[in-house]
Structure formats: C-alpha cells, structure tokens
A and B are shown apart, each in its own frame.
Chain A
Amino acid sequence: MNISVLFAALGGAILVWLFLLQRLKTKPWLEQGVIEEGGAVNAAPQRVGLWVFLAVVTSLFGLFAIVYNMRSQFPDWRPMPDPGLLWVNTGLLILASVALQRARTAVAREDLDGLKPNLMAAGILTFAFLGGQLLVWRQLISGGYYLATNPADAFFYILTALHGLHLAGGLWFWARASNTVWKGLESRPVTEVAGVRLSVTLCSVYWHYLLLVWLILFGLLLST
C-alpha cells in the first residue's frame, strides 16, 4: 500500500506540474500562429536527459527501499552489524560532492586553476569511496556475512553494489570531462568549453543525487 501512495503522489505531482507549466487547459483549436511560451524545455538535452534518468534511478532505489522495508518485517531477519568504515566512506562521498560543487562554481567563472584541483579531488575521493565500500565487503565476508546468509546481508550487498555501479557510471563521464580539461581548454573551440562546463555541472548534480541516495540507504541500513 505504501508503494501505491508514493507513486500516486509522484503521478499527481507530474500531473500538477503539467497543468501549471504546460497549460493543459488551453483549447488548442482556438489558438493559431506560433506560440512562443509553452514550447520545448529551454535547456540542454543532456540536462533534461539526466533529470529523466534520475527519475528512473529514484524508482529503482525507491522500490528496493520499499522491498527492503517489507522484507525486514519477517521474523527471519537478522540485522547486520554496521561497520564503522561506512562512516568514513560516507565522509569521502560528501567531500567528493563538495569538490564537484566547487569545480562547478569554478567552471562557471571560467576559472581553470580552480577547476583542475577540485575535479581531480572529486575523482580521487570517489575512487576512495568505492575502494572503501569494497573494504567493507571484505570485512563482512571475513566476519561470515555472506550473500546468502540472511536477506539483510543480501540486501546490503545488492544495494551497495547497485549504488557503486551508478557511481562508476558517473566516473566515466567525469573521466571524459577531465580528459578534455587536462588537454587544455585554451586552444579549444567555444562549443567544447561549453561542453565541459555542462559536463561538470551535470556531474555535480549526479554526485549530489547519489550522495542523497547513499545517505538514505545508509540510514535504512542503520535503522534495521
């Protein structure tokens, strides 16, 4: 039932949004000529695409969280220990997010000197986070918490793996942007500089989002 409420709310929100922004109440047969407002979304396709993708990822993680919650009500649920290393990893991911945000501000100011170190730091911190997650897995395995030991363990592995995979996908875009930056932007055409700016901006959005997902997942893991 809680799923239905969530999705009804989501659907309702989309509906309201469409009504407010996109004038679903207009009588299109009465209007002729080019209408300037209410046309295409005035944003780069990559940005629109990212937001749509985030909606999909929200659905995926949201459903996992709901199933996690439902499954944890059953009597055979044995909560996992909460490895202290997870706090460290969380810190790393927060720092990565901060670094990307600074990179974003720098690139908006066209401040290349501010961009490079922050971009680099974000990448290193993210790799460190992923490494830290692997370390947590090793700790758990050596503690006898295998995938099939208990659904609580299985969920932990699935959710961290899924989250890690999404971050790894983000790192690919980060790597592409960094590559262009390090080759030097000075001699590049304007469009490419704009491309880098867009990439860095979208990376920061994506990182913030995955940080949020992680914080929710972490909260979920701690709460059971």
Chain B
Amino acid sequence: MAYVAIADRDHHLHDPDTFITKYIWSQDHKVIAIQYAITAIFVGVVALVLSLLFRLQLGFPDTFNLVDPNQYYQYVTMHGMIMVIYLLTALFLGGFGNYLIPLMCGARDMVFPYMNMLSFWVYLLSVIVLLGSFFVPGGPTGAGWTLYPPQAISEGTPGIGGGIVLMLVSLAIFIVAFTMGGLNYVTTVLQARTRGMTLMRMPLAVWGIFVATILGLLAFPALLVAAVMMTLDRVVGTSFFMPEMLSLGRELDYGGGSPILFQHLFWFFGHPEVYIVALPAFGIVSDVLSVHARKNIFGYRMMVWAIVLIGALSFVVWAHHMYVSGMNPYFGFFFATTTLIIAVPTALKVYNWILTLWRGDIHLRVPMLFAIGFIFTFIHGGLTGLFLGNVTVDLPLSDTYFVVGHFHMVMGVSPVLVVFAAIYHWFPKITGRMFNETLGKVHFWLTLLGTYSIYLPMHYLGILGVPRRYYAYGDTDFIPASAQTLNSGITIAALIVAAVQIVFFVNVIWSLWRGPKADPNPWRATTLEWLTPDTPPKHGNWGPNLPEVHRWPYDYSVPGEKEDFIPQTEPPHAGVAAGRDHGVHH
C-alpha cells in the first residue's frame, strides 16, 4: 500500500498529445533517452571522422596532407574530448541511464520529468557550442583534451582565441546538463523504486549507472572549478594557473600561478570520469552475460560491493596520471599503492563475469558476442593499466603510444563494445522490432578484430619509445622504418573499423523499418523492463498498475522450475526454493 503510494505519488503524467510534445519537448524518459543517444552518437561519428583524418596523417605522413600541424592538434583534442565526455558519458548516463533506470526499477518515469527534458536540451546546447568552435577564427582548441595550461591559452597553440573559451563554456554547460540529469537518476533510484524492489534486488546495470552518476555529481564540479578559473585566466588575466612566463620571447603579464594545480583539478575529475564510463558498462555487461548464459550473475553481492568500492576508491587515485608531471615525487608512493589496490575489485568483477559463463548455458547471440568481446578487451586494457598505474613502470611508458593503446582498449573499445551489446540487447524492447542477426555478427567480428589490430601494436610502439601527440616523426634514430609501416597498418585497420560501423547503422535503420516484430521478451529475461504491457513501452510504462517485485533479478535456471527463468514479478511458490543456498550442479 504505502509503496504504491510513494512510487505513484505526484505523478500527474503530463500526457502528450501533439507530435511536438511527444517527440521534441517530451518529458518521457524513453524519448529523452533516445534524443540523448542520437545526439551522442552523431557527435561521436564526428569525432570518429576526425580520428580518421589524423590517422591518415600518422599512417601516411607524406601522402595525403589532409591536415597541417594546427589541424592535427585540433582534431586530436576534439576527438578525445568528444569521445570521453560528449559521447560516452552522455550515452551511458543520458541514454542508457534514462531508458533503463525507471523501467528496471519499476517507476513510471524519472521523478523530475521536466528537469529531465531540460537536461537534454542543455546538453544539446553544449554540443552546439562545442561544434561551434570549429567555425570561429582560429578554430577549435588544439591544447590536447587535457587542456593543460599554460600552453592551452598561450601563443603557439591553435585555437587560443575563441576555441578554448568555447570549449570551457561548453564543458560548463555540459556539467549543468549532467547535474540536472544526474539528480534525476539518483533520486529516482533512491525514491521511486516500486514495491519490493530493494537495493539488493536491483539489476547490476542500475547499480553501475547509479554509482557512476554519484561519481559524476561529485567529480564534475572539479572540472567546473578548473574551467571557471582557466576561463578567467584567459579572458580577464587572473593568474590561478598561469606562472610568470615567457611566450615566444615576450614576457606575459601573468605571475605566480601553478599549472600543476590545474592538473590536480583536472584529474580529480578525470579519473572518476574513467569510472563514470566504466561502471555503467560493467553493470550492463553483467546483465547481458547473465541473460544470455541463462545463469545468475556469479557473486552478485561481490559485484555490488566492487562497484561501490571502485567508485569510492576512484577519488583517491587521480595523481597516477601525473607521475612525471613534476608534482612532489613522493606522492608517487601513495598513488601507486591506491591505484594497484583498485585493481583487486576490478579483477574480481572480471573473474565473476567469466564464472558466470562457467557452467552456464551460453547462447551466442549478437549481444552476447559483444559482451564476451568486451571481457577480452577489458582484460587486456585492465592489465596494461597495471603497467601505467605502477609508478616506476610508468616512467618509460608515460606519454608514449603505450598510453594511447591502453586507454583506447579500456575506455574506448571496451565501453563501445558494451554500447553495442546494449543496443542489440534492448533493441527489441526499444523499437518493437528485431535486428538482423547476420549483419550484427559481421559488425561484431570486424569490430573486435579490427580494433584489436589497431591498439595491440600501439602498445609496442610505446615500449619502443614513440611519443604520442606528434604530428610527424621525421628521422628519429631509435624509431626503425618498420615502425612507420606498422603505423600505416594501424591506419588501414582504423579505416576498416570505421567503415564497418556503416553495417551497424544500416542494420539499425533497416530493422526499424523492415525488421520482424519482436516478442515482448525475446531473450526470456527476468528483469522488469521486459515485462511492460506494451512493446515498446508507452508513456507511463506500466499501464494502470505498477509491477510488484518478489525476487532478485537473476533467477535463471532455478532447479526444479520448468522454465529456465523466473520474472522478478513472479510471486513465490512452494517447493522450489530447495538448494538455493548452495549451488546445485547439473
């Protein structure tokens, strides 16, 4: 009684009647999720094209001449910033978070639908401001996505006019949008779960998104602080970060500031940001694995604790990005230790994913392929993280292609594989149609093999000592000619991987239009989003009555049951709980 009242209270669903209120100024979390996703994927494609342009320069320095050094650094910067913030953060939280939280928690919508709508429009504004920087004199900033001062706002760097200011303004706007969305996600999880949905009955996808949102809400202010202070340094001439310095022989009016202070602020945001992207991916992939292996996620409690623990620890490891930054070198001891400690819960998550497959009943459908591909790339990316997190090992590898290879494996390829797993997994629910399995498999194989052949070799270029962020290498004694051949190969692989994504878009568009009608629960999953009365779910999600939750989300292959899954809403029935305490093996 009380619970229905709470969850349903104050939800005067503003029922949309026109096209505009239904699809444009919509307050329905599902529509907002799709708006977020489309915008994020669009801007991600822009960033992908930028990466191809500078990859052509790196792979074939004397052949194409598509970019000059200014453009090279501008494209590298925009590629990084867009992918990390405007694609991955927005897609996982604004996209999947928006879509999944109310459905998986059994709520009718987010608790503040109007603010949720505003969040998307403000996000769109931040994207427009960001892309607008391509059209101002001097172009976008080329300071690298880390935007380190003084170089980010002094002569010799492209885009120190409008470009850097628009970048900082766009980030500030993004943070406002994120905060509006984030308040919704956290409050909805805390307050609007349906009757019987305890925290420990939430699917791991919701856990991942929930903790990632908390991280974002606490960490993005650091970026805001840095952005405000750097904007003032650039526009008004304050000296928060700017030391007394020359610029091409002229003395500037700055004095006394500390560039390292900026780095601390940036990475205090920047490291949790890694987990803001990773935790939703962890959660989503857990659910996909469990559904398609027909087996409960292994060690659910441990998985929840690991998410929370990783989230908490992520605030005390940031300076591992700064081992060679010139900060007090004694910090290295502390941060190397905390960083390697965080590897333990992360490793446990990997073990538990694999142990979920163990003794499972694995259906290798497209989402499952992507999920297993993710485990492979994440193992690789996670292990190379142990090199860079360990202060001494980082010394020769820092600022080389090893770093580029590492973070693309762990923060690029891995989350993107999860994004695809998630899209294929929930496509039937979101659209009411099935995608094409064959095209999906083609997409998977070429993406996995292609990306691995891009990033595995990069690590070895890094060990060789090839520095990152170089427009061209010229004649460098220790870089053999074969390294350039390897670079060309990497570029060709990148072109193939980019081209393969067309298969994905074709599949999505064709299936939307011609795909066979989907079953409401095609994967025979237990969680609430598959139990909606309509597919795709209508505004308000649940029809007249909210669902009531009677069990945890992983009742797959329960012994003694006829079906190999029991939906969360199924009331308990006698005689089947035997053997639940200790695993029963067939």
Contact = CB atoms under 8 A, between A and B. Distances in A.
**A in complex with B:** yes
Interface hub of B186, B199, B237, B258 (most chain A Cβ within 10 A): B199
A152 to B, nearest CB: 11
Contact of A32 (B199, B255, B577): B577
A162 to B, nearest CB: 8
Interface string A63-103: 11001001100111100000000000000000000000000
Given A32-B572, A59-B221, A158-B232, A39 B196 contact: yes
B264 to A, nearest CB: 8
A38 B190 CA distance: 10
Contacts of B265: 63, 67
A28 B201 contact: yes
A124 interface: no
A45 B201 contact: no
Contacts of A36: 2-3
Contact of B217 (A31, A45, A55): A55
Interface size on A, as a range, is 35 or more
B111 interface: yes
Contacts of A189: none
A182 B128 CA distance: 41
B157 interface: no
Contacts of A31: 551-552
Contact of A40 (B7, B179, B555, B572): B7
Contact of A29 (B258, B261, B296): B296
B199 A15 contact: no
Interface string B179-196: 100111011101111111
Contacts of A15: 308-309, 312
Contacts of A44: 9-10
B301 A27 contact: yes
Nearest to B566: A32
Interface stretch (B59-67, B222-230, B277-285): B222-230
Interface of B: 2-3, 6-7, 9-10, 111-112, 179, 182-184, 186-188, 190-201, 214, 217-219, 221-222, 224-225, 228-229, 232, 236-240, 255-258, 261, 264-265, 268, 296, 300-301, 304-305, 308-309, 311-313, 315-316, 318, 331, 334, 548-552, 554-555, 571-572, 577, 580-581
Q: Which 6 A-B pairs have the closest CB atoms?
A: A76-B256, A11-B312, A32-B572, A28-B552, A45-B111, A7-B315
Interface of A: 1, 3-4, 7-8, 10-12, 14-15, 18, 22-36, 38-45, 48-49, 52-53, 55-56, 59-60, 63-64, 67, 70-71, 74-77, 147-148, 151, 154, 158
15 contacts: A4-B315, A4-B316, A7-B218, A8-B315, A11-B311, A23-B200, A26-B198, A28-B301, A36-B3, A40-B197, A45-B112, A48-B187, A70-B258, A71-B261, A154-B240
